[in-house]
Copies of this chain bind each other. A is one copy, B any other.
Amino acid sequence: MKTRIGIFGYGNLGRGVESAVKHSSDLELAAVFTRRDPSTVKLRTEGVPVISADQLKDWKDRIDVLILCGGSATDLPEQTPACVKDFNVIDSFDTHARIPEHFANVDAAAKNGKHVGIISVGWDPGLFSLARVYSNAVLPSGKDYTFWGKGLSQGHSDAIRRIAGVKDARQYTIPVQEALDAVRSGSQPELSTRQKHTREAWVVAEDNADLSRIEHEIVTMKNYFDEYDTTVHFISEEELKQNHGSMGHAGFVFRSGTTGMNDEYSDIIEFSLKLDSNPEFTSSVLAAYARAAKRLYDEGRCGAFTVLDIPPAYLCEQSGDFLRGHLL
């Protein structure tokens, strides 16, 4: 019997879960829940109902795992604890600083409702966290490095859009090649924020806007741009749509460490991703962890979990025998 997946929220991430389910022969899409008028939501999978979020509870017995596809700023801090009372849930909560608080909230609600909630699933947090934890466990003496990009930063693009005179904008984060090379050399360099990444902004200004003021506001913006070298390009709305619609992203996690009685050997562990579509890939990770949620629940477990708490084999459709025989 297939694991019945519910999707809560049908944006880029929800659509990604829909295609991830299509790629998984052991998962089936049972329903999509939306806060919009369901008649306005058109799925790409035939025969799957779109249900108003108000009716979610009616589906308690028809969903094995509910994948929450809302945002981390306001949706998930409310939705995950609320939904985990009645469902096993997966979310992609990615506000690193607030993870401990979110974990505690989800854990209490999940234990109360005797369900499983796996939070902060995706690639960072998610697969990148796994790379950091495995490599720290193996090389206790060493340094961690994480680089993001080249890829669109939603938060930084939004920040630019809030500047007066800006009609639209896209912001890319780009790792500095010299910094990557220095890390790969094993020299364990100390790298400042400015040395690790550059930022590139593509901005559509309103007619008659003061471009030099906008550029100045961008490059000096506290917490967003002031610690980086940022290049600002003004382009037409048409050019933005044509050349900057890609959802691609990438990133690198390194552990540079030493072994030997006197730290005489040096090792580099590197994990990297190159993605055509950030939301589609993130959704694929969410779908894999849905398998784990079902399995933990079937074992009678409950509470909050992260990727760090879950045996890798639990993400797989295949049996332990198969995995040992073919992938170990």
Contacts and interface: CB of A to CB of B under 8 A. Distances in A.
Interface of A: 16, 18-20, 22-25, 44, 96, 99-100, 103, 120, 125, 127, 129-134, 136-141, 184, 186, 259-261, 264-277, 280-281, 283-285, 288, 291, 306-313, 315-317, 320-321, 323-325, 327-328
Nearest to A132: B327
Copy count, this protein chain: 2
Contacts of A273: 267-270
Most chain B CB inside 10 Å of its own CB: which residue of A44, A184, A328: A328
Most chain B CB inside 10 Å of its own CB: which residue of A267, A273, A274: A267
Contacts of A306: 324, 328
Contacts of A186: 274
Given A271-B270, A327-B136, A321 B100 contact: yes
Contact of A309 (B99, B134, B270, B320): B320
A320 B186 CA distance: 29
B133 A325 contact: no
Contact of A271 (B19, B96, B132, B271): B271
A306 B319 CA distance: 13
B316 A133 contact: yes
A299 B179 CA distance: 44
A308 B320 contact: yes
Contacts of A20: 259
Given A134-B312, A327-B136, A259 B280 contact: yes
B137 A288 contact: yes
Nearest to A248: B265
A246 B283 CA distance: 43
A106 to B, nearest CB: 12
Given A19-B260, A309-B320, A313-B308, A274 B267 contact: yes
B308 A280 contact: no
Contacts of A308: 311-313, 320, 323-324, 327-328
Contacts of A311: 308-311
A124 to B, nearest CB: 9
A316 B20 CA distance: 31
Contact of A259 (B19, B131, B315, B327): B19
A328 B146 CA distance: 12
